[in-house]
């Protein structure tokens, strides 16, 4: 039982490049979230999903896209990388609003 | 808009000391509050979850309290150890556009000196 798995762990992108951050969970949870964490700041919500085929924007969605074709996978897409997207990205999942959230180990992204 | 504040931002204590970390939130309409631990370069590990109807939760040397009406929570760590050194994050679960995401504070960075 791996929980929440994020790949890659580290990545350096050039400005304008694109990439997909992968998130997979084996907990059969419907709710999934993407957060970003900048130094000295709390986590900010980028996108979330309440189940397969349903996604919606969070607090800081600009420059990102998501899809949710299966319960297990919730990839985050960066189309035109910018230095402002340098951050650590965390994927999280939860079974319901009254249960604890579980986080992946994060993807550290640097855009140069 | 819900805002979560954690004080202090950093704390350094000698080993063996009991300590309290503080978390405050501006809107008392929360479902629950969760404390996390984050080690440098690592993900978040859940420590304690307190439902809005509860007053406290305990796990080992950790005790978290919740006063929803005043918008406060505390995390009490007894007999601190160097292994407790980490950043501690507080997060509240809110209702947002039909979903219930977590809203985070910026964390308290704890150093326990041997």
Strand ordering across the sheet containing A4-7: A4-7, A19-25, A76-78, A64-66
Nearest CB neighbour to A105, from listed B32, B42, B103:
B42
DSSP assignment of A57-77, as one string? E-SS-TTEEE--SSSSB--EE
Confidence tier at B97 by pLDDT (50, 70, 90):
low
If pLDDT is split at 50, 70 and 90, which confidence band does A84 have? very high
- Residue in this structure with the two tokens 């950043």, named with its chain if needed: B87
The predicted pLDDT at position A96 comes to 79
> Which token pair is A54?
């349903």
Q: Is the pLDDT at B24 greater than 90, yes or no?
A: yes
Chain B residues close to A100, C-beta within 8 Å: 34, 46, 49
Q: What is the mean pLDDT of residues A10-23?
A: 97
CB atoms B102 and A33 under 8 Å: yes
Q: Which of B96, B103, B106 sits opposite A41 (nearest CB)?
A: B106
pLDDT of residue A95: 84
Q: Is B102 helix (H, G, I), strand (E, B) or coil?
A: strand
Cβ A43–B102 below 8 Å, yes or no?
Answer: yes
Q: Which residue of B has its CA nearest to A30?
A: B99
Contact B110, B90 (CB under 8 A): no
What is the Cα–Cα distance from B90 to A83, expressed in whole angstroms? 28
Residues of A with CB under 8 A from a CB of B: 31, 33, 35, 40-43, 45, 48, 50, 56, 58, 90, 92, 97-106, 108
pLDDT of B29-88, one tens digit each? Answer: 888 999 999 998 889 999 999 999 999 999 999 999 999 999 999 999 999 999 999 999
């Amino acid at each position: 039982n791996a929980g929440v798995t994020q790949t890659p762990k580290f990545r350096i992108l050039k400005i304008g490049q694109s990439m997909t951050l992968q998130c997979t969970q084996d907990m059969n949870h419907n709710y999934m979230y993407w957060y970003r964490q900048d130094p000295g700041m709390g986590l900010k919500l980028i996108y979330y999903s309440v189940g397969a085929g349903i996604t919606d924007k969070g607090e800081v969605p600009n420059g990102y896209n998501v899809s949710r074709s299966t319960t297990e996978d919730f990839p985050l897409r960066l189309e035109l990388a910018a230095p402002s997207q340098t951050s650590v990205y965390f994927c999280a999942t939860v079974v319901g609003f009254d249960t604890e959230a579980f986080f992946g180990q994060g993807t550290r992204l640097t855009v140069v | 808009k819900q805002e979560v504040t954690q004080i202090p931002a950093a704390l350094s204590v000698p080993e063996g000391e009991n300590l309290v970390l503080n978390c405050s939130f501006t809107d008392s309409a929360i479902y629950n509050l969760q404390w996390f631990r984050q080690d440098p370069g690592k993900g978040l590990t859940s420590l304690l979850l307190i439902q809005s109807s509860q007053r406290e939760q305990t796990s080992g040397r950790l005790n978290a309290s919740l006063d929803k009406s005043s918008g406060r929570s505390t995390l009490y760590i007894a007999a601190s150890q160097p292994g407790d050194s980490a950043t501690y994050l507080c997060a509240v679960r809110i209702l947002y556009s039909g979903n219930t995401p977590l809203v985070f504070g910026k964390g308290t960075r704890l150093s326990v000196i041997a």
